[in-house]
Structure 1
Amino acid sequence: MANAGEGPYRGSCFCGEVQFEVSGNPAAMGYCHCSSCRHWSAGPVNAFTLWPLPALKITGGASSVGTYNKTPISYRNWCTKCGGHVFTEHPTLGLVDVYAATLPQLVFEPALHVHYQETVLRIPDGKPKMKDMPAEMGGSGVMLPE
């Protein structure tokens, strides 16, 4: 396993049609508990890795990438052949969330939990629990108890 910053890290959708890589250093890694991420991932929490938008390169199957944006801050992308989720672009932040599970060589080192006020799965891991988002990302910056 490689440590963060030693990329490029290669990933793909569930069937392998959509291939991509990220390089450089992730801006952040953690867990999102918001209802949008939970519904999109069909799980109680989303493990995210955030990268600057230019760090993402689609290396195969670009014509099979579907996009849906419920809000102007999140453009969710998936493979139109298998339905596998691959990444979410956040253009207003200049970041892309590449789902940790799609980057098998990246050592996932989560630093915090965001949108913890919406959690349905408490995770007592000693990591900071943000009510919503850090202030520098447009959130309140309010911390919640574990």
Structure 2
Amino acid sequence: VLSLALLERTGDDELKQAAKRVSAKIAGAVPPPLRHALDANALHAWGFAAPSASAVDLALVRRAIRDEEKLDLSYRDEAGRNTKRIIRPVALIYYAETANIVAWCELRQAIRNFRSDRIEDCRLAGLWFKGEGDRLRQVWVDGWEINESAASA
């Protein structure tokens, strides 16, 4: 229930609606005393909600990850430079202030993180990377281990 409440903070309308549906199903399935506790809002996910990323539909990103379809982005880096990117999205990370798309960037030929609040435009590219998603997620995870090894040295 607390995890579902945290989804309210993502700024992602589709996830918010899904969380409400699941919460209603949970409330309908639990015994009356527990249902009363849920109705009393005894658990809270406090803090501000992330602003919605106006140029990117995160539901579209989640579908692209699931279907292994490339995305065509217009992206503004931290210095404000605009670039066009074709990416292979493999994960979506929700932070309090924004969501990040983890993807293989065809321009940089490496795993990169793309902040949703820096995306100017995002469209399905109509190109696929079928069967590569698991391998690319492993490349991403392997990068964590390299960074952890360097930090402990």
TM-based fold match above 0.5: no
TM-score (norm 2): 0.21
Higher helix proportion: 2
TM-score (norm 1): 0.22
Q: Bigger radius of gyration, 1 or 2?
A: 2
